[in-house]
Amino acid sequence: MRALPRPPDRPALSRSCRCVRTRLRCVRRSSARRSRGRDVPHAGAVRSIQSFRREVPPPGPALPVNDQSSSSSSPVPPAGAAEAPVEASAPAVPAAAPAAASVAPAASAPPLSAPPPVATPANLPAPAPALPGWVLPTGLVLALLAGGGAWTSWQTQQRVHSLEMELVKRQQDSGEQSAEARVLARQSDEIARDAAAKVALMEARVSEVALQRGQIDDLLQSLSRSRDENAVSDIDSAVRLAIQQSTLTGSAEPLMVALRSADERLARISQPRLEPLRRAIARDMDRVRSVAVPDIGSLLIKLDETVRLADELPLVSQAATTGRAAAQQARAVQAAARASAAQGGAASAAWPQWLQDWSRPVELVWSEITGLLRVTRIDHPEAMLLSPDQGFFLRENLKLRLLNARLSLLSRQPEAAVADLQACQRMLSTYFDMSARRTQIAADMLRQVSSQSRLVGIPRPDDTLAATTAALAGR
């Protein structure tokens, strides 16, 4: 049998296995970079190959075939299994092809109890020429750029993913919010309709309250007028009532009294805005004073006094008897005076006693003789023929005439009143004794009433009424 070469010791074999594994990994990495378009050889692969050449010991003497301890203690992977990747990556490392070719016979040999032979540095091809110095920095820069780009793309992808998640979340939130908004919109519509109905009801009630308030304000204004307004209203009412009284009585006194009291009241109030009213009242008072208005009241009083004297007026037929009685009374008075004078002067006068005794009867007889004959002028002979009953009816007729004249004055008929008064004057002068004092007084009062009964229109206080109307309208 052919003697096999002695396998190397175990430490050297383990180191060579590790180098092979490192080389295989470098080859795989370089082939992967070439597949991605990168032709720059890996610096680690070059260093591993160089270190492999330095560290692998030369082959020793061949081991016996039955050395099971060495083969069992340090198993070596088959050459075909170890070099298969190298053949696949042959374009990356050209020196790996001879090694694979040298190891191939060992792999095709039948399995032995001893480990297969291991490739030695002597079988390896010559090292590749050294790479330029700028390749390594360029590769590092490109690697950094590639790593930075990968990191940036990953960050961008993560950010885009987070943005997508946020958009989805926001879309879901917006959907929920839109649903809630629709619900709230329906609720707000219902509330708005209810509010509109309530507002319409409130407006109707407010209009009713405003109407009632206006009515109450009018009532309060009419009930709570100020002092000045009350004064002006009272003055206007008093002046109008005085006009009616003056019209009924035919006298200006009620109107004058009303105007005078109104002026005094305005003077107490002393309001500048009421001065035009005071001036108007003063003008009306001057105009009423300037007109000679008959005092109907005084005329009526005189007529009433004349009616009262009608029963006491002496008739012409009664004047003779009254005259005789008066003459007798006068003679008696004269006789009594002479008697008293005779008694007082009896001592001084030397009249005889007999002469005094005869003088008294003579005077009495003489008075009787003179009383039998009386001369009187009578213009109306029928007046002497009145009997006492006719005298009563004559006085009653006179009273009726006077009362008729009174009614004419009250009814503003001065012509009828004057006619009745003239008839009464004619009756007095015809049937009554004008020499009597009472008859003269009655005739004088009738003349006064007849002369003053000429009615004159009482002027209306138009200025005062206009001023009160303006004051009440401008409150």
3-state secondary structure of 6: strand
Q: Are 259 and 461 in contact (CB under 8 A)?
A: yes
Residue 174 CA to residue 58 CA, distance in Å, equals: 79
The torsion angles phi and psi of 111, rounded to 5 degrees, stand at -65, 140
DSSP code for 132: P
Q: Mind giving me the DSSP string for 227-280?
A: HHHHHHHHHHHHHHHHHHHHHHH--SHHHHHHHHHHHHHHHHH--GGGHHHHHH
Per domain, the residue ranges of the chain are: 10-108, 140-220, 227-293+459-473, 295-317+386-455, 318-345+357-375
Contact residues for 328 (Cβ-Cβ < 8 A; gap 6+): 367, 371
Cβ count near 417 (within 10 Å): 25
Q: Are 77 and 115 in contact (CB under 8 A)?
A: no
Q: What is the pLDDT of residue 238?
A: 92
The architecture that CATH gives domain 295-317+386-455 is: Up-down Bundle (1.20)
Q: Which long-range contacts (CB under 8 A, 24 or more apart) does 405-412 make?
A: 405/303, 405/449, 406/300, 406/303, 406/304, 409/250, 409/296, 409/299, 409/300, 409/303, 409/453, 410/249, 410/250, 410/296, 410/300, 412/250, 412/455
Mean pLDDT, 10 residues at a time, the chain of 475 residues? 48 60 72 56 51 50 39 39 35 36 38 48 57 80 89 91 91 91 92 93 93 88 71 90 84 87 88 87 89 78 90 77 55 58 48 65 75 67 77 90 90 86 90 87 90 75 89 74
Q: Minimal CA–CA distance to 448: which of 418, 423, 413, 404?
A: 418
Residue 292 CA to residue 455 CA, distance in Å, equals: 9
Q: What is the pLDDT of residue 17?
A: 60
